[in-house]
Structure 1
C-alpha cells in the first residue's frame, strides 16, 4: 500500500511503514507541512503532542482545515500541567512527555483500533529528549517506527535541529527512511 505525500521536493507517494523525520529550526513554522501530511490520503490520524495541549492541536487542525473527524489527539502536557482534561474517543492523555511507554502504548492502541490509511505525527522528539534523554527517546522512536511498519501506517516526527548537537541530529536521521529539512527561509529539501 502506498500513501500520497504533499511535501515539496518529495516523492508523490511513499510506501506503508515509512517514517519521516522533519528537521526544522527551532523558530520555524512547521504547521503547514504537518497538516498537509495529515490531511492527504488519510482515513485516520493520531497527533502525539508533547509541545502543545489537545485544545491547541484542535485549533491548528481547524485553522488548516484538516478533517477533525479523522483525528485522535494524544496530549502529553495537560495532566502534568494540571489543566482540565476530558478523556474521549478522540482525545487521550498520558501523564507527561516523559511517559514514553504510555506514548508507545497509546500509539499501538490507536493503530490496533483503526483501519485503512493511518498516519501519526509526533511533535516533538526535541521535547521528549528535553523531558527524558537522547537514549530513551531514540529507543521510543525505534519502537514507534517498528509499530508503523508492522501496522502499514506512516509517520512524521518533528526535531528542532538547531537545539541539538549535530551528532544527535545525525543519529536520529539514521533511524528514519526519509528526512525533510525545513530551512529558516521556509525552503524544503528532502532525502528519501
Structure 2
C-alpha cells in the first residue's frame, strides 16, 4: 500500500512501512510540513507530542485545517509539567518525554486498534533525547520504525539539526528511508540515501 506525500521536493508516494526523518532548524516552521503529512491520504493518525500539550496540538490541527476526527494525540509533557489533563478516546498521556517504553506501547496500541492508512508523527526525537539520552531515544526510534514496518504505516520523526552534533545526526539519518531537510528560509530538500 502506497501513501501520498504532499511535501515539496519529496517523492509523490512512499510505500507503507516508510519512516521519514524531518531535520529542521531550532526555530524552523515544521507545522506546515507536519500537517501536510498528516492530512493527506490518511484514515487515522497519531501525534506523539514530547514538545507541546495535547491542547496545543489540537490548536495546530485546527489552524491547518486537519480533520481532527482522524486524530489520536499522545501528550507526554502535561503530566510532568503539572498541567490539568483529561483523558478522552483520542487523547492519551504518558508521564514524561523520557517514558520511552510508554511511548512505544502507546504507538503499538494505536497501530493495533486502527485500520486503513495510518500515519504517526513524532514531535520530537530531540526532546526524547533531551529528557532521556541519545542512545535511549535512538533505541526507541528503532522500535517505532519496526512497528511502522510491521503494520504498513508511515511515520515522520522530527529532529533538530542545531541541537545535535554531526555524528548524532548521521546516526539517526541511517535509520530512515528518507530525510526531509528544512532550511532556515523554509526551503525543503529530500534525500533517499541512494
TM-score by length of 2: 0.98
- Deviation sequence 1:104-158 (CA, Å, 0-9, x none): 0000000100000000000001000100111100000000000000000000000
Secondary structure in 2 matching 1:163: coil
TM-align CA RMSD: 0.4
Query: Within the alignment, does 1:174 sit opposite 2:136 as a pair?
Result: no
How many residue pairs were aligned? 192
SS at match of 1:101: helix
Q: Residue by residue, what CA displacement relative to the aligned partner does 1:48-101 show, whole Å, maximum 9, x if unpaired?
A: 000000000000000000000000000000011111111111000000000000
Query: Could you tell me how far apart the structure 2 residues matched to 1:27 and 1:4 are?
Result: 27
> Does residue 1:142 correspond to 2:134, yes or no?
no
Match of 2:132 in 1: 132
Q: Which residue of 2 aligns with 1:27?
A: 27
Give the structure-1-normalised TM-score. Answer: 0.99
User: Matches of 2:160 and 2:178 in 1, distance apart?
Assistant: 16
1:80 is aligned to 80
Structure 1's consecutive aligned runs of 4 or more residues displaced over 4 angstroms after TM superposition are none
User: 5+ residue gaps in structure 2?
Assistant: none
* SS in structure 1 at match of 2:147: helix
* 1:161 CA drift (Å): 0.5
- Write the distance in 2 (CA, Å) between the matches of 1:90 and 1:164: 32
